[in-house]
């Protein structure tokens, strides 16, 4: 599972995924090429603690509307 949930105007992308062999959901941030393009990952709880930007709101909306959140 690799759900794209937000794209910024500058080309950054955010994805929700489950790491193989793990029960926890993680967020992958793929910065645009001008920013170096090096992806990073963080647990969902840590991502949500980072701030209240549009990418955080988009993830909250995805989690709130999931039919089966445990299957995300």
- Is residue 43 scored above 70 in pLDDT? yes
Average pLDDT, the chain: 88
45 assigned to some structural domain:
yes
| Owning domain of residue 17 | 2-66
pTM of the complete model: 0.83
- How many domains, in total, are found in the chain? 1
71 assigned to some structural domain:
no
38 assigned to some structural domain:
yes
8 assigned to some structural domain:
yes
Between 35 and 55, the higher pLDDT residue: 55
Burial of 30 (0-12, 13-18, 19+ CB in 10 A): middle
Q: Which residues, other chains included, contact 61 with Cβ-Cβ below 8 Å and sequence gap of 6+? A: none
């Amino acid at each position: 599972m690799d759900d794209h949930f937000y794209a910024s105007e500058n080309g950054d992308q955010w994805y929700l995924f489950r790491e193989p062999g793990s029960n926890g959901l993680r967020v992958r941030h793929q910065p645009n090429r001008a920013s170096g393009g090096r992806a990073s990952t963080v647990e969902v709880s840590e991502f949500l603690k980072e701030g209240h930007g549009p990418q955080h709101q988009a993830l909250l909306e995805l989690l709130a509307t999931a039919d089966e959140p445990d299957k995300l």
